[in-house]
Amino acid sequence: MNATLGRGAVDEVLLSIVTALQAYPESVTGCRVGRLNGGDFALWLPAKGVAAETAHALADALRASLPAFGPGVHVALGAIELPRDRPSSVWLGEADAALARAEHQSEARGGFVVEIVADPGIGREQGEGLWRSQLLEAASLRRGSLVEFPVLDRQGCVLHLECPLQLRLGDEMLPAAAWLPLAVRARMTAPVDLLAIGLALDASAADGQARCINVAPVSLADAGFLPQLRELLLQSPQAARLLLLDLAEVAATDHFDRLLELGRQLRPLGVKLGLEHAGAGLAQVDKLYQAGLDYVKLDASVLLGVAGEAGRAAFVRGMVIMLRSLALKVYGEGVVDEMDAQALWDCELDGLTGPWVTASGAG
């Protein structure tokens, strides 16, 4: 935040957060507040059954004060209920995991995110140090596999396969929803993204099918990521032309220069770049035409129920017209039924993915 708000404003933001937190120990006996590091704070509650309620109340208090500092302030709150008799290492590890999930959601959506962990992994080792070790081991030993979901055109032909990565951490094979927040928190997304891309290149070299891999926006900030990625692509030049890379919409709204550099270096190698989970935020990107993108995937939240809502359909058509004017392909995510699929074809999308698409393709 120092770069966007200035150090003085950041100090005021932190003071506002402390003030909101300090209200709890001042009014409730047994509450404890502490600063863990940088912008991380902890609130310990002496009573059970109130973590979720308190997290939402705290978020409401911060929503009332922090917007005054501008849209660059994002807050992630993780809340968890744990038995009093657990060791402090378990408390801190589980709290870290809850915060990691909240931070991941905040990175994707921005604003204020509250993550309530209802089923903690009590007894399981947690913590940033352990995650970093496990992620590094999984990336270096290629302990991962790709799950494949088709993106189909109107005729039912496969345009490419979306390939989320499963990782083996310890004894468990975890889906991206489980390991990605931990990787973001441990600043380990770059080696894991490189693993996924390597697996996709190997698979495409074998069967000639185009594959799409999600790249975390924070990986673009890793100084070693782009050079290593180029080296990987140069080792498989034919498969590189079958590779698509998805980045979250936030890559265009908050990390535009990095997105620009990614496109500049990868376009000559034949790699296609696009934004996933896109919505109304695209309208805020003044220089989208300069980003060097090939496609945009509209978020399921934008598309769900489009068959029965004329206003939603009009919005989607407007997005398609705007994106087509920039020579971009437009795909739809998370399609769950045939009626919405037909409505989206009527809006002239180029391809669809989601549960209904996967089922119809299998049939």
3-state secondary structure the chain: CHHHHCHHHHHHHHHHHHHHHHHHHHHCCCCEEEEEECCEEEEECCCCCCHHHHHHHHHHHHHHHHHHHCCCCCEEEEEECCCCCCCHHHHHHHHHHHHHHHHHHHHHHCCEEEEEECCCCCCCCCCHHHHHHHHHHHHHCCCEEECCEEEECCCCCEEEEECCEEEEECCEEECHHHHHHHHHHCCCHHHHHHHHHHHHHHHHHHHCCCEEEECCHHHHHCCCHHHHHHHHHHHCHHHHCCEEEEEECHHHHHCHHHHHHHHHHHHHHCCEEEEEEECHHHHHCCCHHHCCCCEEEECHHHHCCHHHCHHHHHHHHHHHHHHHCCCCEEEECCCCCHHHHHHHHHCCCCEECCHHHHHHHHC
Q: How many CB atoms lie within 10 A of CB 363?
A: 6
Considering the domain boundaries, does residue 318 fall inside one?
Answer: yes
Domain limits for position 320: 142-362
Total residue count of the chain as it appears in this document: 363
Same domain (yes/no): 91, 239: no
Considering the domain boundaries, does residue 179 fall inside one?
Answer: yes
Q: How many domains does the chain have?
A: 2
Considering the domain boundaries, does residue 125 fall inside one?
Answer: no
Q: Identify the pLDDT of residue 67.
A: 64
Same domain (yes/no): 48, 111: yes
247-269: average pLDDT: 90
Q: Which of 102-111, 171-180, 225-234 has the highest mean pLDDT?
A: 225-234
Same domain (yes/no): 50, 101: yes
Considering the domain boundaries, does residue 123 fall inside one?
Answer: no
Same domain (yes/no): 71, 171: no
322-332: average pLDDT: 94
Nearest-angstrom CA–CA distance, 173 and 289: 39
160-182: average pLDDT: 89
Considering the domain boundaries, does residue 235 fall inside one?
Answer: yes
193-222: average pLDDT: 96
Q: Identify the pLDDT of residue 122.
A: 43
Q: Identify the pLDDT of residue 89.
A: 66
* CATH label of the domain that carries residue 255: 3.20.20.450
Same domain (yes/no): 87, 146: no
Considering the domain boundaries, does residue 137 fall inside one?
Answer: no
pLDDT averaged over every residue in the chain? 85
Residue 156, CA distances (Å) to 73, 138, 153, 359 in order = 43, 36, 5, 12
Q: Angle at CA 319, nearest 5°, toward 317 and 324?
A: 95
Same domain (yes/no): 176, 322: yes
155-183: average pLDDT: 90
Q: Which residue has the higher pLDDT, 96 or 289?
A: 289
Considering the domain boundaries, does residue 196 fall inside one?
Answer: yes
Which of residues 117, 134, 164 is at a domain's end? Answer: 117
Q: Identify the pLDDT of residue 123.
A: 42
Same domain (yes/no): 158, 284: yes
> For 38-54, how does the pLDDT look when each residue is reduced to its tens digit (9 = 90+)?
678 888 787 777 888 88
Considering the domain boundaries, does residue 62 fall inside one?
Answer: yes
